[in-house]
């Protein structure tokens, strides 16, 4: 007899199989027990008919507790009523690991309680679906960049640099020296681009942000491509192609998960249509103020209501280009004819998900960079290696960073970013 996974049930209709599962829920009458089962690949139903099994097996089925692990042996049947489409008629079952009183019952629980039990909550259907989509987005990221001729390089997590400002740094000791947890792999990706042409980094990044919103994590994962001989306009083309590729990959490979999540696939299909609209920061301010809903002063950063309005206006992700220099990091390329804006863009996602990408062309002038590093309150000595990249064969280069969990939250339609990572680090949470 073959041992299979639930996801492969469709290939074993009317066959007798064995599956290792956990029990998520059950109901039974005097004559029949319905066991809701999962094995990490999918969820489906097992049926135990009293008259078809031994008394011992039927009693086991009636009494087995939620989240016990089992081997079930039985025959796969089509089940047109269930969204999964198949079920197993059980002949025999064996308890592998008994379960105590599982804390997460089918009734409603508060978020704090569930977050305290995140190590168990991961087993639930919605969490399963969201994290499967996360996995698909990571897989598709490696596939996309490999197809486009990028190589992956790894940036360090312990660093001496602060690309994204000094206020949000996690400080630590590095023997006798100071060190920080990486805010971004970008500066190292730039070194990589000068060595390999097109690279991307992908790793955890840290922001000691005192933000408690549904879009902010303290520890999040970022995909950071960097391209030599590339101006900002070419970088925007890579960005939109990449995001559309992620959405298409999820549509192609996560149909089951999107159904569990109740995500509207027609909306997602719209996001695969390129190009994405582009609007300047200047015009975005005007658009916001003309709506009568906002009163934005030129020079301010947009908050989440402004970002939501802009992306909803276009009903597609939208690039907002060339923000004021004063609100952006030191490394962005200055505008050729204006000294108040830099050559950059944020990609804002519709449906209220906000900024999913931040990127720019990079400054190449050594004097300009040195001055900007000083203005940012950083020690220029710590950045000599970075300025070296301009001293030896400097080229126009551009790159961007996609916040993985922002992208996952948006594509899955989840309402909070904590769902997009297995063990979220939030302002008041480092457990479990």
358 binds Mg ion (CB under 5 A): yes
DSSP 276: P
Which one of the spans 66-74, 88-96, 100-108, 357-365 is the region binding Mg ion (CB under 5 A)?
357-365
HEC sequence for 8-26: HHHHHECCEEEEEEEEEEE
Q: How far is the CB of 209 from ligand 4AD (least distance, A)?
A: 5
Distance CA 166, CA 159 (A): 13
Distance CA 19, CA 59 (A): 20
Cβ–Cβ under 8 Å, residues 193 and 149: no
400 binds ligand 4AD (CB under 6 A): yes
Identity of the residue, 274 or 327, whose beta carbon is nearer to Mg ion in the bound complex: 327
355 binds ligand 4AD (CB under 6 A): yes
Distance CA 268, CA 244 (A): 9
**CA distances (Å), 429 to each of 158, 169, 181, 204, in order?**
22, 18, 18, 17
Q: How far is the CB of 191 from ligand 4AD (least distance, A)?
A: 13
Distance CA 68, CA 135 (A): 26
Which one of the spans 137-145, 236-244, 301-309, 402-410 is the region binding ligand 4AD (CB under 6 A)?
402-410
Residues 199-218 that bind ligand 4AD (CB under 6 A): 207, 209, 216-217
Which one of the spans 181-189, 203-211, 250-258, 352-360 is the region binding Mg ion (CB under 5 A)?
352-360
Taking CB within 5 to 8 Å according to partner kind, which of ligand 4AD, Mg ion, none is near residue 209? Answer: ligand 4AD
Give the residue from 43, 158, 22 showing the smallest Cα distance to 96.
Answer: 22
**CA distances (Å), 355 to each of 181, 189, 235, 320, in order?**
22, 21, 17, 10
Taking CB within 5 to 8 Å according to partner kind, which of Mg ion, ligand 4AD, none is near residue 317? Answer: none
Residues 117-176 that bind ligand 4AD (CB under 6 A): 163-164
DSSP 429: B
**CA distances (Å), 267 to each of 51, 264, 272, 337, 357, in order?**
48, 6, 9, 39, 20
- Total Cβ atoms within 10 A of residue 231: 14
Q: How far is the CB of 28 from Mg ion (least distance, A)?
A: 53
- Total Cβ atoms within 10 A of residue 256: 17
Q: How far is the CB of 81 from Mg ion (least distance, A)?
A: 47
Identity of the residue, 46 or 185, whose beta carbon is nearer to ligand 4AD in the bound complex: 185
Q: How far is CA 148 from the centre of its chain?
A: 21
Question: Which of 87, 405, 414, 419 touches ligand 4AD (CB under 6 A)?
Answer: 405
Q: How far is the CB of 263 from ligand 4AD (least distance, A)?
A: 19
Cβ–Cβ under 8 Å, residues 18 and 3: yes
Size of the site for Mg ion (CB under 5 A): 1
Taking CB within 5 to 8 Å according to partner kind, which of Mg ion, ligand 4AD, none is near residue 405? Answer: ligand 4AD
Identity of the residue, 42 or 187, whose beta carbon is nearer to ligand 4AD in the bound complex: 187
Interface residues with ligand 4AD (CB under 6 A) are 163-164, 184, 186, 207, 209, 216-217, 220, 222, 224, 355-359, 399-401, 403, 405-406
Interface residues with Mg ion (CB under 5 A) are 358
């Amino acid at each position: 007899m073959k041992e299979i996974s639930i996801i492969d049930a469709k290939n074993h209709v009317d066959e007798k199989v064995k599956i290792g599962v956990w029990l998520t829920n059950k109901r039974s009458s005097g004559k029949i027990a319905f066991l809701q089962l999962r094995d990490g690949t999918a969820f489906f139903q097992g049926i135990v008919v009293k008259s078809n099994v031994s008394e011992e097996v039927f009693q086991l089925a009636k009494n087995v507790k939620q989240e016990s692990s089992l081997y079930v042996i039985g025959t796969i049947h089509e089940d047109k009523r269930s969204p999964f489409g198949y079920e197993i008629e059980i002949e025999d079952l064996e308890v592998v690991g008994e379960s105590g009183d599982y804390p997460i019952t089918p009734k409603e629980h508060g978020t704090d309680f569930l977050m305290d039990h995140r190590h168990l909550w991961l087993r639930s259907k919605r969490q399963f679906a969201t994290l499967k989509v996360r996995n698909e987005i990571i897989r598709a990221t490696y596939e996309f960049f490999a197809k486009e001729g990028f190589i992956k390089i790894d940036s360090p997590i312990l660093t001496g640099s602060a690309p994204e400002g000094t206020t949000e740094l996690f400080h630590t000791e590095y023997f006798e020296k100071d060190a920080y947890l990486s805010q971004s792999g970008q500066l190292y990706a730039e070194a990589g681009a000068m060595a390999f042409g097109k690279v991307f980094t992908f790793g955890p990044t840290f922001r000691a942000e005192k933000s408690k919103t549904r879009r902010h994590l303290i520890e999040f994962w970022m995909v950071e491509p960097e391209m030599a001989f590339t101006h900002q306009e070419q970088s925007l083309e890579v960005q939109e192609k990449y995001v559309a590729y992620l959405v298409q990959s999820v549509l192609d490979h996560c149909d089951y998960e999107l159904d569990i999540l109740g995500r509207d696939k027609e909306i997602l299909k719209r996001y695969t249509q390129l190009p994405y609209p582009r609007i300047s920061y200047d015009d975005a301010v005007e658009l916001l103020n003309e709506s009568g809903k906002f009163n934005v002063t030129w020079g301010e950063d947009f908050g989440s209501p402004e970002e939501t309005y802009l992306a909803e206006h276009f009903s597609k992700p939208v690039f907002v280009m060339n923000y004021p220099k004063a609100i952006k990091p030191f490394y962005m390329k200055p505008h050729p004819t204006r000294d108040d804006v830099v050559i950059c863009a944020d990609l804002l996602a519709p449906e209220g998900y906000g900024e999913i990408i931040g990127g720019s062309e990079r400054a190449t002038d050594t004097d300009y960079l040195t001055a900007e590093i000083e203005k940012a309150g950083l020690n220029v000595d710590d950045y000599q290696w970075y300025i070296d990249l301009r001293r030896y064969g400097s080229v126009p280069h551009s790159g961007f960073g996609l916040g993985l969990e922002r992208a996952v939250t948006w594509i899955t339609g989840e309402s909070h970013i904590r769902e997009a990572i297995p063990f979220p680090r939030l302002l008041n949470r480092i457990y479990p």
